[in-house]
Amino acid sequence: MYFNLIKIFLPTTVAFFLGLSFTPIATHFFYKYKMWKKYSRSAITTTSSDFSKIHNEKAELKTPRIGGIIIWISVLATVIIFYFISILFPSTGSSEINFLSRNQTFIPLFTLIAGSLIGLLDDLIQIYGTGKFARDDKSWRKWKAFLVGFLSLLIGIWFFYKLGMTSIHIPFMGEMYLGILIIPFFIIVALATFSGGVIDGIDGLSGGVLASIFAAYSTIAYANSQIDLAAFSAVITGAILAFLWFNIPPARFYMGETGIMGLTITLATLAFLTNTVLILPIVALPLVVTSLSVILQLASKKLRGGKKIFKLTPIHHHFEAIGWSSYKVTMRFWILSVVFAIIGIILAIISR
């Protein structure tokens, strides 16, 4: 038991300090090459007066947007370090602290890196690109959804054909057999989770929320005796906390798609690997609410002749529009994310 805890917390600590150490180098690179958006949201769309009041256009166009690189590079470096320690210094102890395994961590690591690289492409297009793609228009958003869907298809195929995953757990009831339908079901869940990425809109908001969610999944994996997966989820948490150290207001950089895309798709992968996909909406409730607010707003405007439910969406901007400070919104979202992460952990454990 104690060694399992060391296996989880030691790599997590390493990932955190690697992230802190890597950040000054990355920050210098970000600012040297002016890696921020070319077009602000105000320049891209017709914005309301409410949005103009809360939107800091100067910061948006002068703050690098690819800070998520710090997260996935820290995770990848940590995985490599502990893997090579087990190879170069073979012993029972070094072998035990290596948490890279085919059945638990290979596919979420692949998901994180692949999703992050797709997100990096999106960030670079908006930083250095020209034309409508650089303005993140609807056609490019459809392409992003397609790329996320294609990556999810590959992961779903791996789940079904390589890991033999054919069912999902219904809390307090048991297993529901899906067979090959597990593949399209994963695609739907991954796209839905990715849609929650719109939470990356206020300094420190997404980092704090995602840290709570991944810490919850580390705990759930540990309760399932999936120690390697628990270590991997915890390492992501440590890397996010290193990012958050520099992302709290005023943010030195934003997470960008290279962070949010890889993390959200990986989150869906963890939910399937721990067989808690139906508990994911509770653990990740802030992401669900944020995504749902956008969907409801669009539906209301279309079906009710332009009438809105919220002053602004995503919902964190609505709270800013009614007078909450960005600090208050961020702190309260953090609190809620911790509360619902704990509720999700409890449900995951008692519903078996």
Q: pLDDT tens track of the chain, all 352 residues?
A: 678 899 999 999 999 999 999 999 999 999 998 888 877 665 444 456 666 667 666 667 788 989 999 999 999 999 999 999 988 888 877 788 899 998 899 999 999 999 999 999 999 988 887 777 777 767 778 888 999 999 999 999 999 999 999 999 999 999 999 999 999 999 999 999 999 999 988 999 999 999 999 999 999 999 999 999 999 999 999 999 999 999 988 899 999 999 999 999 999 999 999 999 999 999 999 999 999 999 999 999 998 988 999 999 999 999 999 999 999 999 999 999 999 999 999 999 998 8
Domain ranges of the chain: 2-279
CA separation for the pair 131, 34 (Å, rounded): 19
CA separation for the pair 273, 112 (Å, rounded): 14
What DSSP assignment string belongs to 132-147?
A: TGGGT-HHHHHHHHHH
The pair of structure tokens assigned to 330 is: 């961020």
Residue 177: strand pairing partners: 167
Q: Which amino acid is at 2?
A: Y
The SS3 of residue 176 is strand
Phi, psi (degrees; rounded to nearest 5) at 167: -145, 165
Could you tell me which of 282, 305, 307, 285 has the C-alpha nearest to residue 297? 307
Q: 3-state SS of the chain: helix, strand, coil percent to 5? A: 75, 0, 25
Q: pLDDT at position 61, please?
A: 74
* pTM of the predicted protein model: 0.94
The pair of structure tokens assigned to 228 is: 């390697």
CA dihedral 335, 338, 343, 349 (to 10 degrees): -170
The pair of structure tokens assigned to 16 is: 């955190």
